[in-house]
Amino acid sequence: MPSLWMMKAKTNVLIQQKKARIQNRFRRDSWEGTKGFELSPRRERFEEEEEEGRGMRWLPLLPAVFALVALILAFCCLLAGSRPGYMDDYALLTLDTSFIGLDLVKPPTNNTSSPEATPLSALVNPLLSTSQSIFNKLTSFFAKRAGIQDLYSIHMTNYCYGTYNQNLTSTSPAKQTTGCSTRTVLFAFDPLPILQHAFDKANITLSVQELNWPKALQDNIAYLKTIAHIAVAGYSIAIAFSFFTIFTCAYRVSPYSAGSRRVVALAFGFAGVACAGLWGASVMVTLLMDKGKGLVDRYGAPVGITVVRGNGFLGLTWGATLVAFAGVVAVGGECCRRRNREAIKVFFEK
């Protein structure tokens, strides 16, 4: 005669087997819709969404499109002005030196005090008995002969120079870029070599080191160089990680990825780094424009040099940042959507 504990164990086994058969039958009926049972409304909605998801398999490519646009805009920021006629209007700063030297040297007066010492005034001091108009013509002639151009456009990797041509059909003169400097990755605009080249071209035995540049001016130029190098590094990082984002999104829709959520998370990380690089570069460029304009207004305005900010370049770089951020949002939405679908699927399988 079986003992009590054996009967209890056998009863538990039978109950577990019966429960398993009921669960398997309910699962089969609710998922496959056999006779006598109707599909769960939640399961029907899930299947409809799954069918729509199969037809929207191209959605993971949307972040790749945003990354591609941001990549192109970042390249444009780096390559703008790399040669004459290529995106000349997208400069960081444009220096107008067409009026340099005018009203710089004052005509002689009865004042016995010594005139203010400047580099150009030291060259024409023997002519102090001439009228003001003669002085203006002489200083302008010196600037032209020395090779000082009418304008200098500062870009990310080089600078361009040119002249102003008066158009009979327009009241404002037209800019004509005549040449550009050699393009380098770690470029930073420095007026000292340009001025030294002008002296050498005019056969003037004068070194820019003898002009006693203000210490604050030299420090600010070095500060602007550092900002420019950081901005170039930001654009380079954005370009590299935009490439990685495009490759990852393309791999995501390929049959080799098997829809892994790790691939989506990896694309999200790449897109985030690219967006951060563009944001940092845009902030540095904005700071460089503001600081450079203030520097030219302070030290260049007294000698006839004016500066114009590159609002076109500013819109270009911040537009690239917004597009990169849209790519981050798109990848994040895809990641959350996939996680939600996996949670629903696990719920139905229980």
CATH number at residue 92: 1.20.140.150
CA 108 to the chain's CA centroid: 52
Residue 54 has pLDDT above 60, yes or no: no
Is 285 a member of any domain?
yes
Residue 57 has pLDDT above 80, yes or no: no
Q: Which residue has the tokens 């790790």?
A: 262
User: Which domain, by its residues, includes 333?
Assistant: 61-100+148-349
Q: Which residue has the tokens 């699962």?
A: 27
As for how many domains the chain has, the answer is 1
Is 213 a member of any domain?
yes
d(CA 72, CA 67): 9
Average model confidence (pLDDT) across the chain: 73
Q: What is the pLDDT of residue 126?
A: 47
Q: What is the pLDDT of residue 251?
A: 83
Is 121 a member of any domain?
no
d(CA 214, CA 216): 5
Average pLDDT over residues 116-141: 49
Q: How confident is the model at residue 52 (pLDDT cuts 50, 70, 90)?
A: very low
Q: What percent of the chain has pLDDT over 90?
A: 22
Is 80 a member of any domain?
yes
CA 212 to the chain's CA centroid: 37
DSSP state of 216: H
Question: 3-state class of 260 per DSSP?
Answer: coil
pLDDT per residue over 81-107, tens digit each? 888 888 888 989 888 877 765 555 454
Is 35 a member of any domain?
no
pLDDT per residue over 265-274, tens digit each? 888 899 999 9
Token pair for 55: 């037809």
Average pLDDT over residues 155-165: 85
pTM: 0.69
Q: What is the pLDDT of residue 130?
A: 45
Is 124 a member of any domain?
no
Phi, psi of 175 (to 5 degrees): -80, 140
| ∠ CA 332-272-71, rounded to 5° | 110
Contact, 266 vs 302, CB < 8 A?
A: no
Q: Which residue has the tokens 């000292």?
A: 192
Contact, 140 vs 342, CB < 8 A?
A: no
Q: What is the pLDDT of residue 326?
A: 94
Is 226 a member of any domain?
yes
Token pair for 90: 């997208």
Contact, 143 vs 97, CB < 8 A?
A: yes
Residue 53 has pLDDT above 90, yes or no: no
203 vs 73, higher pLDDT: 73
Is 29 a member of any domain?
no
CA 178 to the chain's CA centroid: 27
Residue 347 has pLDDT above 50, yes or no: no
